[in-house]
Amino acid sequence: MYRLSTDVGGTFTDGVLLDETTGKIRVSKVSSTPKNPAIGTIGCMEKFQISLNEVSFLVHGTTVVINALIEGKGAKTALITTRGFRDVLEIGRSNRTEMYNALYSRPRSLVPRYLCLEAKERIAAGGEILVPLQVSELGEIVEFLRREEIKSVAVCLLNAYANPVHEEEIGRFLNETYPEAAVSLSHNITRRYYEYERTSTTVQNAYVMPVVQGYLRSLEEEIKKRDFNNVLQIMQSNGGIMTSEVARDMPIAMVESGPAAGAIGGAELAGMIGYKNVITYDMGGTTAKTSIVRGGLPETAEQYVVEGRPILLPVVDMREIGAGGGSIAWIDEAGALHVGPGSAGAEPGPACYMRGGSEPTVTDANLQLSILDPDYFLGGKMEILPEAGRKAIQKIADYFDLSIDEAALGIINIVNINMSGLLQSMTVKRGYDPREFALVAFGGAGPIHAAAIAKELNIPTIIVPPFPGVFSAWGMLMADPRHDFGQTYIKPMDDADIGSINWMFRGLQARVRELFERENIADENIVLSYEMDLRYIGQEHTLSVPAPSELVEADRIKLGKSFDDLHLKIYGHNAPEEHKEIVSLKVISFARVKKPLMETIAGGAENPPPEAGMGERKVYVGDGRYEQFSIFKRDGLLSGNIISGPALIEEATATTVVEGGQTCSVDRYGNLVIS
């Protein structure tokens, strides 16, 4: 049997097929189909030429959710909230995220004000019903929704996190009287008390729900036609997976599914070869993304922001910039050269792709410098035209009165500086020393630029996994089913009732087990961990500390000390004498699944075998100088081989650069480890 994963990116759709018995990997890569991503996904699967009834595990990552949010192509959505609170989305937060941008404008609400509707009801922060829900008014609301041809409804009532009874009642009424609309209830997504963020999350979930439901149904029908008889799994933003059935109800959890898989893959790979602290660096066709893995686990954030709109769900903590192989080089009004964030994407693509693109891109520049081999692009399966890329770069060269090679190198230097800044934002600016980390570089363009970035930041080791161009798809095969639930509970630690806390933890456990039961996962495979969000009384922000599943009185002191220690570590100071406050309780759950084996490669001597050598070629390095780079074919290398730079190691999905003064060794799994 096989495990199969597919990852839809901005430029390419990647696939990985893994033999469960031998650990042998096959990969596929096709151009993405933005108008209907399912077409590219099916095309990616069909390249393996197997029947899907041989696939025991199929997981899919997609950009459908984030594209719908960024491009504003979701469904027409209405919001139902508590009377008097229809303007929560319009008011938002009073902070200005771009303080020094004179042209800053607030993000447009996904639900215009006239579609923000009010229900007469009121529940107190403690969960008591103050005003019963007026069901008689809901009929008028449904009539309005039908007149406006609303496709999706978000229901987010004030204090529903404390008692969801009124939201449940509205949900039942809508399903009975207006079944043609998708319904998203806030308490099913998050039970955190942040009013604006909770509303924003629920609205975004509702906005993309019809789009995702249609997409997943279409994909499920296509794979069923091809004899797939198991459950389609979907990659989540928190680094776990969920079934497509669960994903249809909570699509917002898929907002960063592909990039999160890269972080999970980086953590798994680094753990296999003995690294606990790594920086993952993923450069694809459109963006470059980075995350931090410490102690073998990717760091997570409590919320994520898309187009200025917060999503109050756990997500693998990563940052990204518009810097990919398709990023366009352009000159501003002041005559300065920039690269990105605009991208040629899959359509029309870089100029050298011959699909109508005419602007110079990073891929065109790497081709001009001779880092990329035009005869071995995608392993020789994709024809490109260097002259078209050269013609595009000529515009930059003419403007600055430079040679074409110098203009191409300028494009590469700028994108490298941009990406060095990206990695600094996750390390140096957070108090981490890059010298204490290894860099796991992947994506179609990541291994090209990793050597220069590591040199800039003094990162001592670079790890380039096998098939780096499809590494995020490989990471999906390493992911466990995961669900995270939180519950607001604001009480001073000294006054909190231990029995109430334990009761709430048990309630969160029950929600976790209910979801896993829907996914046919046995109790014995579920692993639960518990956390509490604490702060000093008077603070706004919180820190999460581990908690036991069943608290006893002595845990008050232990939890307080854990918080003091963490506060000192994060902020450089603490106040142990200050009283602490509980803000929320969290249960993080994994269903441990059997991890596939990773294939090892044959061993050899220090010198690569002659058949791995592919000669030399001149690469432009600046100031009119060219260097001879040794060229190697990656699939001809053996474990134990050592390559001294400057060298280029080529494979079907990526090219790895080893600069002068750097040394690359091949480990038993076929990873390239550059020192």
pLDDT at 398: 96
Rg, the chain, Cα only: 26
- State yes or no: cis peptide before 646, omega within 30 of 0: yes
Q: Are residues 189 and 200 in the same domain?
A: yes
Domain assignment present for residue 200? The answer is yes
Q: Is 658 helix (H, G, I), strand (E, B) or coil?
A: strand
Domain assignment present for residue 15? The answer is no
Q: Are residues 316 and 386 in the same domain?
A: no
Domain assignment present for residue 188? The answer is yes
| Residue 597 pLDDT > 80 | no
Contacts of 172 (CB under 8 A, 6+ apart): none
The dihedrals phi and psi of 228, each to the nearest 5 degrees, come to -80, 120
For residue 381, what pLDDT band results from cuts at 50, 70 and 90?
A: confident
Q: Are residues 653 and 668 in the same domain?
A: yes
Q: Looking at this protein, which amino acid is placed at residue 482?
A: R
Domain assignment present for residue 43? The answer is no
Q: Are residues 504 and 447 in the same domain?
A: no
Domain assignment present for residue 371? The answer is yes
When divided into structural domains, the chain yields a total of: 5
Contacts of 323 (CB under 8 A, 6+ apart): 283, 287, 288, 339, 340, 341, 362, 415, 418, 419, 422
Identify the CATH number of the domain in which residue 111 sits.
3.40.1360
Bridge partners (DSSP) of residue 185 are 155
Q: Are 642 and 665 contacting, i.e. CB atoms less than 8 angstroms apart?
A: yes
Q: Are residues 201 and 129 in the same domain?
A: yes
Range of the domain at 99: 69-212
| Residue 594 pLDDT > 80 | no
Q: Of 148, 180, 212, which residue constitutes the final position of a domain?
A: 212
Pairing of strands 55-61, 232-235: parallel
Determine the Cα–Cα distance for residues 516 and 191; give it in Å rounded to an integer: 19
For residue 643, what pLDDT band results from cuts at 50, 70 and 90?
A: very high
For residue 25, give the nearest of 49, 51, 2, 52 by alpha carbon: 2
Determine the Cα–Cα distance for residues 270 and 207; give it in Å rounded to an integer: 37
The enclosing H or E element of 173 equals helix 165-177
pLDDT at 208: 96
Q: Of 179, 212, 245, which residue constitutes the final position of a domain?
A: 212
- State yes or no: cis peptide before 466, omega within 30 of 0: no
| Residue 302 pLDDT > 90 | no
Q: Are residues 391 and 296 in the same domain?
A: no
Q: Are residues 126 and 189 in the same domain?
A: yes
Identify the CATH number of the domain in which residue 533 sits.
3.30.1490
Q: Of 431, 451, 477, which residue constitutes the final position of a domain?
A: 477
Q: Which residue has the higher pLDDT, 303 or 597?
A: 303
Identify the CATH number of the domain in which residue 438 sits.
3.30.420.40
Q: Are residues 114 and 190 in the same domain?
A: yes
pLDDT at 666: 97
Domain assignment present for residue 597? The answer is no
Q: Are residues 409 and 422 in the same domain?
A: no
The b-or-e profile of 377-401 (16+ CB within 10 A means b, else e) is: bbeeeeebebebbbbbbeebbeeee
Q: What percent of the chain has pLDDT over 90?
A: 67
Token pair of 659 as six digits: 């600069």
Q: Are residues 140 and 285 in the same domain?
A: no
Q: Are 235 and 479 contacting, i.e. CB atoms less than 8 angstroms apart?
A: yes
For residue 27, give the nearest of 404, 444, 471, 387 by alpha carbon: 471
pLDDT per residue over 388-444, tens digit each? 999 999 999 999 999 999 999 999 999 999 999 999 999 988 888 999 999 999 988
pLDDT per residue over 497-542, tens digit each? 999 999 999 999 999 898 888 888 888 889 999 999 999 999 988 9
pLDDT per residue over 117-168, tens digit each? 999 999 999 899 999 999 999 999 999 999 999 999 999 999 999 999 999 9
Bridge partners (DSSP) of residue 647 are 630, 658
Bridge partners (DSSP) of residue 79 are 116, 154
| Residue 36 pLDDT > 90 | no
Domain assignment present for residue 5? The answer is no
pLDDT at 494: 92
Q: Are residues 113 and 207 in the same domain?
A: yes
The enclosing H or E element of 544 equals strand 543-547
Averaged pLDDT of the chain = 91
Q: Are residues 665 and 564 in the same domain?
A: no
Q: Which residue has the higher pLDDT, 442 or 652?
A: 442
For residue 55, give the nearest of 4, 6, 119 by alpha carbon: 4
pLDDT per residue over 344-380, tens digit each? 877 788 999 988 889 999 999 999 999 999 988 888 8
Token pair of 92 as six digits: 């938002």
Determine the Cα–Cα distance for residues 115 and 77; give it in Å rounded to an integer: 8
**Cα 308 from chain centroid?**
17
The b-or-e profile of 109-131 (16+ CB within 10 A means b, else e) is: bbbeeebbbebebbbeeeeeeee
Domain assignment present for residue 601? The answer is no
For residue 527, give the nearest of 484, 581, 580 by alpha carbon: 484
Mean pLDDT of 619-623: 94
